[in-house]
Amino acid sequence: DALIQSEKLNYKRDSAALLHSLGLFYSKFKEFDKALSYLNRSLAIRKELGLKNQIEWSKVGLGLIYWELGNYDNAIELMESAHSYFIKLGDTDGMDLNYNLGALYNSKGLYQKAFDNYEICLRIRKEKGNPDYISYPLSGLGWLYFQKQDYKNALKYLQEAYDICKEINLQGWGELLGISVLLSLTKKQLEMPFDDIDFITILNQSELIIYHIDNYNLYQLLENTSYLEA
């Protein structure tokens, strides 16, 4: 009987993990209804089994989808709940949700909270020493200063983020392009040259996936539409 119960328990745990993976898979393809369905089913099983760590990671997954859907209040509630849990646990990976929270608070217009979370994220990631992860909070801080029209401070963070992205060719999600546009717009406001950034080459990178850069910002910089042929 004990063996049968153990097998049932392991089956449920594995089923929850599979449902969670399916939820994340569908979220990548923007099929959010399916993603939410799978993640909620996974969360229900994990709650039934009392799997505390996995419950919190389910919340993170759901929070990411609500973020994509523009439901920032739900996303923040889930992320903050998971973040608090991981802080108490001392889980450094789980604690590093500050970037997500910074971006969410920025989307809500709560700029001081966004700034605080980006700063914490930058400190944590510098301690870990992984350069591609460091570029994200740097970009976030630069974007905050850009929005405030504090272009000198924006330049400081955006230049550092750009240097990292360029050095390691970070552009799987359009990172290099995004930071190049923001940096160039910042330099333009400061009446500084930015012709060292080759947008056509960046746009021609075959693996490039663009999510957050609109044609208008590129047009502002290039002053023509030839980049659309790239």
- The pLDDT score that the predictor gives to residue 3 is 44
- Chain center to CA of 80: 15
- The pLDDT score that the predictor gives to residue 221 is 64
- The pLDDT score that the predictor gives to residue 183 is 93
- Chain center to CA of 13: 28
- The pLDDT score that the predictor gives to residue 170 is 79
pLDDT digits (tens, 9 = 90+) for 92-151: 777 789 999 999 999 999 999 999 999 999 999 999 887 778 999 999 999 999 999 999
- The pLDDT score that the predictor gives to residue 230 is 46
Quick check: 45 and 19 in contact, CB under 8 A?
Answer: yes
- The pLDDT score that the predictor gives to residue 217 is 61
Which is nearest to 102 in space by CA: 84, 122, 82, 88?
Answer: 122
- Residues 226 and 101: their CA atoms lie apart, in Å, by 37
**What is the SS3 assignment for 120?**
helix
| Block residue for tokens 């229900």 | 44
Q: Which residue ranges of the chain lie beneath pLDDT 50? A: 3, 206, 208-213, 216, 225, 227-228, 230
- Domains present along the chain, CATH in parentheses: 1-85 (1.25.40.10)
